Chains A and B, each alone.
Chain A
Amino acid sequence: MLFNSYEFIFAFLPFTWLIYRIILGARYAEASIAWLVLASLFFYGWWNPAYLFLIVASMSANFIIGLFLEDFSRPPVLRKALLILGVSLNLGLLGYYKYTGFILENAIWLFHISIDVPQIVLPLAISFFTFQQIAYLSDAYRGEMKEYNFLHYCLFVSFFPQLIAGPIVHHKEMMPQFASIRGWSVRSSDYAAGLSFFIIGLFKKVVIADNLALFATPVFDAADSGASLSMFVAWSGALAYTFQLYFDFSGYADMAIGAARLFGIRLPFNFNSPYKAKNITEFWRRWHMTLSRFLRDYLYIPLGGNRKGANRRYVNLMITMLLGGLWHGAGWNFVIWGALHGGYLVINHGWHSLSRKLTFTRRLPLGRWSSSLAISLTFFAVVIGWVFFRAETTSGAFLMLESMLAINSPEEIDVFHNLGPGFCIKAGIWILPAALVALLLPNSQEMIDSYKASNQYSLGSVCIPSLSAGAWALAVSVMYVVALVNLGGLSEFLYFQF
């Protein structure tokens, strides 16, 4: 069930909320949590009920292993062995479903062997709930976990707003909220914020992202089919995808945050205007923030982080980003994308080290123009990365890059009747406003939730008018109806494949 579907908006969400409120109103807090678990499992099983067994088994096994791990009376060797077993089981499951095909295909290519590659269907959300549970096991081993009950644990893993595509929640931020659910504790401002988040997210996904997809898809399809494109067409496709991905994924995150807030649960924010970042390190603090947090806490820091010298730090960054790339998908393009971002981070940290040593850089003017230059450079680097992220084939990605950099010969350019100058103009009509919103306006959490301003150059105060509560309600309602009438053409969230 997609958030941007009639089933979810008109049936599942209102019904689940209504029963939840009735149970909570009768002061059965644990029953209300049990209801949310049931509803979440129904939500998960809507696609394919066969997947239910997998997630229930995974939750049960991890909870039991967690119980053993948090018992410090057991021998350390046994606890460590159990941790390794638990993490291996989680990674093994993820590896089997997600990477078997990729590994076998590469083995066939490398060793010229003949093996049938099995068609394994990737269970929904496995990448997300695997990470959440690995974090849970690691914290249990480190003794950073309080005693939790199974019902709360199940809700932590399966809570439907965050189940399918994150945010990747941490037990420390969720379990205390479940434990404190009481009676009519959800305030009207939670409903107001929840509905507003959900509607703004729906608008971002259905109206902005889905329309940008109409310009990204044909360009990447053409490149993947071996076509050499003109520079303008290639840039139109790359920029359309850059903003499509942001509005799609951040729209989904807004919907998740909004839906959760209706139940009185606060999910962590996942995006903070990433394209306003002045360097790549800042970009990763603003993009898919909960994934960055996981990779930092459970991969980069355990690898040694920056504690073992500069060279080791760069190696750790590369490993973290390569694995981060692979987490997004089993394909060489994702590996290249990860490596590219690892390289960006190494360069960024190297530059910072160097500039600390070079005295003249301290005298460089760091005003508005240099900030704009830094934002532009970071944005350019990110767009190049997205080309690998989006292209189906490596050759398609390189063809896109050749076209974007205009290093393909004009004679090679394939002229498509539907990818001419008119296409670029139409694409621009969507890309330009999307860019203005993403780069200059405050983001949804800044607008709704007094979130710390993401960038001092935000034009929010200039562009966002001061309206009465009624006028704001009308504006959000209009966003809702515009999204609603565009819902008919259902499409998958881009992040579902991960």
Chain B
Amino acid sequence: MTLVKAVSSPNYLTNLIIGLLSFTALVPIINILVDPTEVFGTDVFPHSFQINDRFRKTEHLLENRDKYSGFLMGSSRMGYIDPSLFSSKLNRGEAYNLNLSSANVWDYLEMTRFLLKEGFDIELLVVQMDITLHYGDRLRYQHHPRFDGTSRTRFFVNNLFSFPYKSLAGKIWFNLIGRDSVQMEWTTGLRSRPWEEASIKRDHEAYLKHEVSFSRKKEPWQRGIREEFKSATDKSVLAVRELLLLGQEYDFSIYVFVTPHNQHYLDDFSWEEFQYFLVSLSEITEFWCFAGYNSITTDDRNFYESSHYRPFVGALVSQRLLQDRNLRTAEDFGVFISPSSLREALDGLRFGFEKKR
């Protein structure tokens, strides 16, 4: 039967209405039950796969407006620094680790503006800078409706009727095998990787051997500065400048540091690019640089994979930032860069590059 004939059959209309109503009910039921991005908080499937941390963290902060006055801003790499270590620098509240998946400095800037608009009394920002080729596509990420200035109802309706099949399948699979991609502690903002930590505890060498990012094939070394890199760096530095101006306007302190990138991550960039990044940033602020080939970043045991460092590296970073005198770590981990120390710092870092390559 053709569709033309089917349309005039009474069965067609009945079946069509049943089909439409069933699908209209089925999609939200699946979304609520599985909760693929954890926006509904149903917990029927306890292990997480993809988490909309932008929504969940903003939601938590809005519910606890007076609790926090210090914020650690960064991408997921920032997620392994305990915010309580910065409490000594705060008078009016606690610190919160506001790391966001795949965030860039634009996110930190917009999030800071949002917090100020919402009346948060900011005392301190700790800003993590990543060396990256791309500035990122922020439109991919779904923010909290209040951040976007959109309706809360629309946000939930969008999530009810969307079908993120990869996230749905991933979450179901992770719950079948009983593991989390990452765990989030919403009251502190910290991330944790219990599955990886357990594997490391069992047999660290085997873990390192099986982690593909540590053994990927080396590309030829980059030379010169790629246009995309220059553009991404210029935009990042511009956003940091905006953050610094906000700091002056609203009277809060800002610590800036360059994340300790693993050696395999750093291998993708040329010395010229690395230098361009540091020089550009030094033109607007003093900062700590933990990137470069040093004894922490060249030891893969300090990382889960080539992108994320483990919590004790985060503790070392915060101790450096807080100038903890009890710090016992490799001397070459972390270089403070200011206009006066730039030349010397670059010489040291270049030596690391030359030695490695």
Distance, CA A193 to CA B12, complexed state (A): 10
Residue in B1, B23, B26 whose beta carbon sits within 8 Å of that of A469 in the complex: B1
B1-36: CB near A (< 8 Å → 1, else 0) gives 111101111111111111110111011000000000
Q: Tell me the minimal C-beta distance from A418 to chain B in angstroms.
A: 10
CA distance in complex: A380, B33 (Å): 50
Please, how many residues of chain A have a CB less than 8 angstroms from a CB on the other chain? 33
Query: Nearest A residue to B22 by beta-carbon distance?
Result: A477
Q: Which residues of B from 224 to 247 have beta carbons under 8 Å from A?
A: 228
Chain A residue, CB-CB nearest to B157: A6
Interface hit among A239-247, A368-376, A484-492: A484-492
Q: How far is the CA of A472 from the CA of B14 in the complex (A)?
A: 12
Instruction: Give the size category of B's interface with A.
Output: 20 to 34
A413 at the interface (CB under 8 A from B): no
- Give the residue name and chain of the A residue nearest to B155 (CB): A488
**Does A473 count as interface, using CB distance less than 8 angstroms?**
yes
Q: Give chain A nearest CB distance to B333 CB in angstroms.
A: 33
Chain B residue numbers with a CB within 8 Å of A447 are 2-4
B residues near A473, Cβ cutoff 8 Å:
6, 11-16, 18-19
Determine the distance from Cα of A474 to Cα of B14 in the docked complex, in whole angstroms. 11
Is the pair B15, A474 in contact by a Cβ cutoff of 8 Å? Answer: yes
B163 lies within 8 A of chain A by Cβ: yes
Measured between C-beta atoms, what is the minimum distance from A111 to chain B in Å? 40
* A90 vs B284: C-alpha distance when bound (angstroms): 58
* CB <8 Å contact, A484 and B23: yes
Assess whether B114 is interfacial by the CB under 8 Å rule.
no
Known contacts A191-B13, A417-B228; is A480 also within 8 Å of B19 by CB? yes
Given A464-B2, A484-B27, A488-B158, A470 contacting B11 (CB threshold 8 A): yes
**Cα distance A388–B16 when bound, in Å?**
42
- Report how far A486 CA is from B26 CA in the complex, Å: 15
Partner of B13 from A188, A484, A485 at Cβ < 8 Å: A188
**Interface bits A453-492 vs B (CB < 8 Å: 1, else 0):** 0000000000010111110111011101100110110000
B161 touches A196 (CB 8 A): no
- Is B84 interfacial (CB 8 A cutoff)? no
Min CB–CB distance A89 → chain B (angstroms): 38
What's the nearest-Cβ distance from chain B to residue A134, in Å?
36
Q: How far is the CA of A472 from the CA of B16 in the complex (A)?
A: 8
**Which of A417, A450, A469, A476 is close to B11, meaning CB atoms less than 8 Å apart?**
A469
Q: At the interface, yes or no: A494 with Cβ under 8 Å from chain B?
A: no
- On whether A467 and B162 interact (CB within 8 A), knowing A477-B23, A480-B20, the answer reads no
Picked from B8, B9, B16, the residue with its CB within 8 Å of the CB of A476 is B16
Q: Across the interface, which residues of B come within 8 angstroms of A484, CB to CB?
A: 23-24, 27, 161
A189 within 8 A of partner (CB): yes
Closest to B4 in A: A450
Return the contact of A467 from the options B6, B7, B14 (Cβ within 8 A).
B6
Known: A192-B7, A467-B1. A488 touches B161 (CB 8 A): yes
Tell whether A85 is near chain B: CB-to-CB under 8 Å.
Answer: no
> Which 7 pairs from chain A and chain B are nearest by CB?
A477-B19, A473-B15, A485-B163, A481-B23, A469-B12, A472-B6, A473-B16
Of the A-B pairs whose beta carbons lie under 8 Å apart in the complex, a sample of 21, sorted by A's number, is A6-B157, A6-B161, A188-B10, A192-B7, A192-B13, A193-B7, A195-B16, A447-B3, A448-B7, A450-B4, A468-B6, A469-B9, A473-B13, A473-B16, A474-B19, A478-B19, A478-B23, A484-B24, A484-B161, A485-B163, A487-B161
